Amino acid sequence: MAQWDALVDAALARLEARSLLRATRPIALAPPPAAPETFAGPGPWDRAAVEIRFDRDTLHQWLAEGGETGEQEEKLDGNLILFSGNDYMGLSSHPAVREAAVKAAQEYGMGPRGSALICGYTTYHKLVEESLAELKRKEDCLLCPTGFSANMAVMTALGSISSLLAAGRKPAEDERIAIFSDALNHASIIDGIRLLERQQEAVVFVYKHCDMFHLDFLLSSCSMEKKVVVTDSLFSMDGDFAPFPELVKLRRKYGFLLVIDDAHGTLVCGENGGGAAELFECENDIDISVGTLSKAAGCQGGFIACSTRWKNLIQSRGRSFIFSTALPVPVVASVHAALYVSRKERWRRSAVWRHVQYFASLTKVDITSPIISIVVGSEEAALRAGRHLLRSGFHVTPIRPPTVPPNSCRLRVTLSASHSSDDIKRLVDALTPWLPDKYAEQTYATLSKL
């Protein structure tokens, strides 16, 4: 990727010549306490990650929105098992994560309030960046307020290469960045590349979802030199992985920059929790790995794992990073603890994948991840299915447009290390009407009673 290194170096030189190269300067705080306590198996705190409660009035109002009330609803107590969150590892309720946040809050309050480039960056933030860079096997890392802002920062920094090298004029079309984006990429990627289009810094090509033949065709038909392929690693609404082996082959063929959004793979996939790239053994072929800390880490925030040269460019040109207040110190402290626990409590990752296998064995549904998409069709059908699951004691929010296309509304089930086998068995029983055709007879019998 010598071509891209040279482009980034040239862009950084332009920034330095104009005194626009920015760097974070950590405010020194006392280091976190000694390594937190970890456990060999689940504890009572794990249930707090999946057991939730609504007051009865709220629950009845929710059901009444569909015009369905009756004696059955009077028996509901508001206690539900959550199967629609993203806390895959169950870390949000872990004692070490709680204690880290509490201790940091007692010591520092929320910490210095300002953007990372002004006064919001501390040695705690630096520690987390170092931990994430090691996890992702990258030279460096940039901590961001959210995963959304991380993707936006990467996209705007990419576009800035065109503008910086054009030296004060709008870049000609062949000087812009050619971005190839999967059709089902996350909204933060889509919004970022739309912004680059409006600023005439990039030309965007959308390839069919995970269709490497289409991507190959688009790449071969494009004469632009600066090519970038960006894709989710594990798609949030379908639960399928990007075809990494094929992407790597195309990268070697065309020399494009490969950017992944590993929001749903980080900590969940790979022996060490390094994410989808570790799972597919292609970490060295990923140039920039974006992720979030609000899913499997159970906390809040986003990050960009990359080379130091890319970090220098993104923190100098990524507007969503530059103009956002840095994460509060207690949040960063909790992230640091969560990353430590994830390394030590490997049984959590094993539990997630054991649940995936168990769900598949019960339903005979072909699934490859803890995200299970059960397409039911119309919005009315999806809402009806959601209400049925509420009455059965489960929180599974129906997914509707604009998140998914019309008539592809679905139940999105997510599995967590904090779930039990009994939770999953009871959920499958409640889902029977919407499972594959082989359950048609059971489906008819169940629907006739609804």
Each residue's pLDDT, cut to its tens digit, for the chain (450 residues) gives 789 999 999 999 999 999 999 999 999 999 888 889 999 999 999 999 999 998 888 887 878 766 655 555 556 778 999 999 999 999 999 999 999 999 999 999 999 999 999 999 999 999 999 999 999 999 999 999 999 999 999 999 999 999 999 887 888 888 899 999 999 999 999 999 999 999 999 999 999 999 999 999 999 999 999 999 999 999 999 999 999 999 999 999 999 999 999 999 999 999 999 999 999 999 999 999 999 999 999 999 999 999 999 999 999 999 999 999 999 999 999 999 999 999 999 999 999 999 999 999 999 999 999 999 999 999 999 999 999 999 999 999 999 999 889 999 999 999 999 999 999 999 999 999 998 764 444 444 433 433
Distance (Å, rounded) from C-alpha 282 to C-alpha 259? Answer: 13
CA angle 155-156-159, nearest 5°? 90
Strand residue runs (E) in 184-314:
202-207, 227-232, 257-261, 288-292, 302-306
Give the total residue count for the chain. 450
Residues 6+ away with beta carbon under 8 Å from 304: 141, 142, 144, 150, 153, 154, 288, 289, 290, 310, 311, 314
> What residue type is 126 in one-letter code?
K
| DSSP letter string, 22-50 | ----PBP-PPP-SPPP--SS--GGGGGGT
Predicted confidence at residue 440, as pLDDT, reads 41
Predicted confidence at residue 437, as pLDDT, reads 62
- Which residue is it, tokens 């040279």? 6
Radius of gyration of the chain (CA): 23
Predicted confidence at residue 78, as pLDDT, reads 80
Are 393 and 51 contacting, i.e. CB atoms less than 8 angstroms apart? Answer: no
Distance (Å, rounded) from C-alpha 147 to C-alpha 263? Answer: 7
Distance (Å, rounded) from C-alpha 242 to C-alpha 246? Answer: 9
Count of CB atoms situated within 10 Å of the CB of 77: 10
Residues 6+ away with beta carbon under 8 Å from 361: none
SS (H, E, C) 365-383: CCCCCCEEEEEEECHHHHH
Edge-to-edge strands, sheet with 398-399: 371-377, 409-414, 398-399
Predicted confidence at residue 169, as pLDDT, reads 85
Q: Please give the model's pTM, rounded to 2 decimal places.
A: 0.93
- Which residue is it, tokens 């806390």? 87
Are 141 and 301 contacting, i.e. CB atoms less than 8 angstroms apart? Answer: no
Give backbone dihedrals phi and psi of 353, rounded to 5 degrees, phi first.
-75, -30
Q: Which residues of 20-39 are buried (b: 16+ CB within 10 A; e: fewer)?
A: ebbebeebebeebeeebeeb
Q: Return the bridge partners of 289, or none.
A: 260, 305
Distance (Å, rounded) from C-alpha 95 to C-alpha 84? Answer: 23
Q: Return the bridge partners of 143, or none.
A: 303
CATH classification (class only), 45-82+346-447: alpha beta
Domain boundaries, the chain: 45-82+346-447, 96-344
Supply the CATH classification number for the domain 96-344: 3.40.640.10
Distance (Å, rounded) from C-alpha 257 to C-alpha 230? Answer: 8
- Which residue is it, tokens 């929180």? 395
